Structure 1
Amino acid sequence: MFQLRDYQLEQYRQIVNSMKQGHRSIMVQSPPRTGKTVVMAEIARRTTAKGGRVMFIVHRKEIVDQVMSTFKTQGVNMNLAKIGMVQTFTRHLDSLPEPAVLFVDEAHHALAKSYRRVLDRYPKAVKLLFTGTPYRLNGKGFHDVADDLVVGKQISWLIQNGNLAPIDYYAPKQIDTSDLRTKRGEFTEESIANSVKPKIYGNAVKNYQQLAAGKQAIAYTYNVESAEKLAEAFNTAGITARAVSGKTSKEDRDEIIAAYRVGAIQVVTNAELFTEGLDLPSVDCVIMLRPTQSLSLFLQFGMRSMNPRPGKRAIIIDHVGNVERFGLPTDDRVWTLDDTKKSKSSTTTSDIKPVTVCEQCFGTFYRTADTCPYCGAIIPVKERKIEVDEEAELQKVEADKRLARAKKIIESNATMAVADKTPGQLNSMAELKAYAELHNYKHGWVYYQAKMKGLIH
């Protein structure tokens, strides 16, 4: 049985408190690589121990076996658990008994018609909708499927406390983003192909050798052909690589994953796989060769390499300028159930600050000095045009310092305790400020919550 970590236990308690407040459809934000399936398994274990049924919805078949394994390890009564793809459940709704708890994995997809059919079919069930990114490309909010939001720890906090590995981010410029075109909010495969320079595969291999030699890597490409060509380029360079895609048979895919996990394969190149959910703990390097407009995909790509290990620094090589659209994966972000286009205050991400790319080593960072923090090279004067605002510099704050500041905020009322509360239970500016300090949220979160609660006008 898994022992919940402190931050997982805190999130579990927040979910329980939200349920006690009468919420029946709760969206739970939990950053990628932080073990949200373990939290769901603990809730499922306690539910089935009392004779309650649970249902777990996924949208990729690769995730089903992994969830079943976690549930079994956690002691869930599998006779009372149904785990499957949303498409399967929608075909058998009339024959499936109503669950006490219905889990939705990667719940930013939950507004789709297939999910809505399942959610609407079981009005008495408690719905717990887990996602790393409560955000959709079209800006539509989630009030249609959720009545409360439980927010997890910021990625910066998780790194500082050893739950995620710190990163080194590199962004060599090898794609002409001016030619990218979108369809239904995402870049088209054709425009990506036209934008990518012919030598990108050779450069991808060269940059891997230069920046992450010997590390196990996973590369995200934009179609099956590009995944196969990149694997071929790695193998030609003497680096063992295999390509996988939706066209790869399950048997071959399982064989590749098993070989990768034991280190027999150094690089896996893939198209449309290994984004959401699937656990590959041995990844130390991510290579992005697919530009995306999706914040969810960007974080899934980058954070794939951030499983922690003593002394580890994850390496992210971004060949396609995704960092310029989203900022660094480690940025603090503000989440909301509201439409993201309603007002300036209802933003889902931190303001995107311009990044600096070192011309010597391709290290990518928010500039706070005149030298590269990776290799020490002098940053040319011309790059001062994209210099970051000194007032907005990233700053990692230790947990004990946050607690001390939170204590100062609430010391005027000794009975005030916010650690076990959800945002929906906070009723004053003092509580909001204390909660923000404890969770390392920005001032914009306090302002937005206060506006929603009518504490400011």
Structure 2
Amino acid sequence: MAEIARRTTTRGNRILFIVHRKEIVDQVVSTFSAQGVDMDLSKIGMVQTITRHVDKLQEPAVIFVDEAHHVLAKSYQRILEAFPNAVKLMFTATPIRLSGDGFTSIADDLIVGKPIDWLIEQGNLAPVAYYAPKQINTEMLKVKRNGEFSDDSIKKAIKPKIYGNAVNNYLRLANGKQAIAYTYNVDSAKQLADAFNKHGITAQEVDGKTPKVERDEIIQQYRDGKIQIVTNAELFTEGLDLPNVDCVIMLRPTQSLALFLQFSMRSMNPREGKTAVIIDHVGNVERFGLPTENRNWTLQGKKNKGKKTAGSETVPGVTICPKCFGTFYKQGDTCPYCGAELPKDDHKVEVDGKAELEKVDAEQLAQTRLMKKVKNKKPEELHSVAEIVAYQKIHKYKPGWVYFQLKKKGMIRK
């Protein structure tokens, strides 16, 4: 971005750079100044401010939009529409919205970067060790005569749980690494920071109401290595450059692929010999696969048929025990780990207090997700060799069935 901005301002043309958080403004100003961009011809600011004063801005030749998956919002649209002759360049690592809306109304083309595995091989991103609860046992899936899975077997094979104690798992899997923890609300972020501090691990909670001076000081102390863990509910999901994050702790379940990737990849800034650690207490990986998985990004979007998505990007929040800091979906009025009395809520799901997180095997995860994808389809709805083979394994058909289907679909000639 800085190189494009430098070339633009060198020719005497103005640029406008739109972000959505104050910390990112400071980061862009610092980077652009260091890269030789003429800052007298640059306007860099938050969308919330720019949209209120857009009629007073000098016309830019190029507009940059950071974290551009937000660009469909009216505030962004007002700015872009005010300068019809400007070149609009929109940047995002996650060109997708939970609503399923595409970007064809605001973008002419999608330029896709290198795949994640290539970036890791070249040293641009760190490799990942991902730990999560094993939430599905495909061996337990049983098929009824009509070809559908039985309800009982599904309940046994797929159980929505949250496993483990956040502090204990950090000590076991990432002890000594600097981490960011994502929780589902401000109170849980504060409780998490307190729990780490009680175990001698320096932690600070940051939220939207934290005074700017205090927030900047915490961020700087984190960068300097004086704070080991920062806990938050929503602040550090996008854009902010914290290069020494080696571990991400997820205590916030989400249905948003974009949010999941922003969470996960926060730990993947590279360093010689580094392996990032992701501790997923809420099974987000079961919904989206590993963050290293290659995605087929498009501008078209995908509508979520029959799903209500407005208003929230998360599934119901977790309960955190104020005494032992066990994390789980609530069932009953007491903590399943230590018996302490818990706050009241209405979400009750089976809890397994003895279960542990385990390292995610990429091939096994991919096979599991493929089986979940095809389990309720009909043979004529299968469109790849992998889907046909997975369907055959689930239904325990003979190997010849795969050959028959491939021949029927014209995937083989003989």
Please give the TM-score of this superposition, normalised by the length of structure 2: 0.69
Q: How far apart, in 1, do the equivalents of 2:24 and 2:385 lie?
A: 43
Contact 1:53–1:101 (Cα < 8 Å) also in 2: yes
SS, match of residue 135 in structure 1: coil
Shift of 1:339: 2.7
Contact 2:245–2:266 (Cα < 8 Å) also in 1: yes
Question: Which one-letter code corresponds to 2:132 in the other structure?
Answer: A
Aligned counterpart in structure 1 of residue 244 of structure 2, from 274, 282, 305: 282
Contact 2:99–2:304 (Cα < 8 Å) also in 1: no
Q: Deviations over 1:267-296 (max 9, x none)?
A: 111111111100000010000011111111
- Paired residues for 1:55-204 under 5 Å: 55-172=16-133, 203-204=165-166
**Residue 258 of structure 1: aligned partner:** 220
Q: How far apart, in 2, do the equivalents of 1:65 and 1:44 lie?
A: 16
- Aligned residue pairs, count: 304
Contact 1:151–1:335 (Cα < 8 Å) also in 2: yes
Aligned counterpart in structure 1 of residue 209 of structure 2, from 227, 243, 247: 247
Q: How far apart, in 2, do the equivalents of 1:276 and 1:387 lie?
A: 30
1:41–1:298 distance in 2 versus 1, CA, 3 Å: same
Shift of 1:387: 13
Unaligned runs of 5+ in 1: 1-39, 175-194, 344-358, 370-384, 394-457
Q: How far apart, in 1, do the equivalents of 2:23 and 2:118 lie?
A: 30
Is 2:264 aligned against 1:302? Answer: yes
Contact 2:102–2:302 (Cα < 8 Å) also in 1: yes
Q: How far apart, in 2, do the equivalents of 1:65 and 1:138 lie?
A: 31
Q: How far apart, in 2, do the equivalents of 1:330 and 1:286 lie?
A: 15
SS, match of residue 274 in structure 1: helix
Q: How far apart, in 2, do the equivalents of 1:60 and 1:261 lie?
A: 18
Question: Which one-letter code corresponds to 2:128 in the other structure?
Answer: I
1:360–1:247 distance in 2 versus 1, CA, 3 Å: closer
Is 2:396 aligned against 1:363? Answer: no
Q: Deviations over 1:238-272 (max 9, x none)?
A: 11111111111111111111111111111111111
Q: How far apart, in 2, do the equivalents of 1:42 and 1:264 lie?
A: 33
Shift of 1:367: 4.2
Q: How far apart, in 2, do the equivalents of 1:107 and 1:322 lie?
A: 23
Q: How far apart, in 1, do the equivalents of 2:94 and 2:43 lie?
A: 25
SS, match of residue 181 in structure 2: strand
Question: Which one-letter code corresponds to 1:290 in the other structure?
Answer: R
SS, match of residue 150 in structure 1: coil
1:108–1:386 distance in 2 versus 1, CA, 3 Å: closer
Contact 1:366–1:388 (Cα < 8 Å) also in 2: no
Q: How far apart, in 2, do the equivalents of 1:109 and 1:297 lie?
A: 12
Please give the TM-score of this superposition, normalised by the length of structure 1: 0.62
Q: Deviations over 1:14-51 (max 9, x none)?
A: xxxxxxxxxxxxxxxxxxxxxxxxxx111000000000
Is 2:234 aligned against 1:272? Answer: yes
Q: How far apart, in 1, do the equivalents of 2:363 and 2:51 lie?
A: 50
1:244–1:368 distance in 2 versus 1, CA, 3 Å: closer
Q: How far apart, in 2, do the equivalents of 1:214 and 1:79 lie?
A: 43
**Residue 295 of structure 2: aligned partner:** 333
**Residue 330 of structure 2: aligned partner:** none
Q: How far apart, in 2, do the equivalents of 1:333 and 1:161 lie?
A: 19
Q: Deviations over 1:162-201 (max 9, x none)?
A: 1100000001379xxxxxxxxxxxxxxxxxxxx997xx7x
SS, match of residue 205 in structure 2: strand
**Residue 27 of structure 1: aligned partner:** none
1:391–1:163 distance in 2 versus 1, CA, 3 Å: farther
Contact 2:133–2:356 (Cα < 8 Å) also in 1: no
Shift of 1:368: 5.2
SS, match of residue 148 in structure 1: coil
Q: Specify the structure having the higher radius of gyration (Cα).
A: 2
Contact 2:128–2:275 (Cα < 8 Å) also in 1: yes
Instruction: Provide the alpha-carbon RMSD of the alignment.
Output: 2.9
**Residue 417 of structure 1: aligned partner:** none
1:136–1:386 distance in 2 versus 1, CA, 3 Å: closer
SS, match of residue 149 in structure 1: coil
Question: Which one-letter code corresponds to 2:297 in the other structure?
Answer: W
Q: How far apart, in 1, do the equivalents of 2:27 and 2:213 lie?
A: 16
**Residue 191 of structure 2: aligned partner:** 229
Unaligned runs of 5+ in 2: 136-159, 306-354, 366-370, 376-383, 388-414
Question: Which one-letter code corresponds to 1:99 in the other structure?
Answer: P
User: Identity rate of aligned residues, in percent?
Assistant: 69
Shift of 1:70: 0.7
Q: Deviations over 1:209-257 (max 9, x none)?
A: 0000111111001111000000000011111111111111111111111
Q: How far apart, in 2, do the equivalents of 1:221 and 1:89 lie?
A: 30
Contact 2:185–2:233 (Cα < 8 Å) also in 1: yes
SS, match of residue 119 in structure 2: helix
Q: Deviations over 1:376-404 (max 9, x none)?
A: xxxxxxxxx989999759xxxxxxxxxxx
Question: Which one-letter code corresponds to 2:171 in the other structure?
Answer: Q
Shift of 1:131: 0.7
Shift of 1:341: 3.7
Contact 2:104–2:300 (Cα < 8 Å) also in 1: yes
Contact 2:133–2:281 (Cα < 8 Å) also in 1: yes
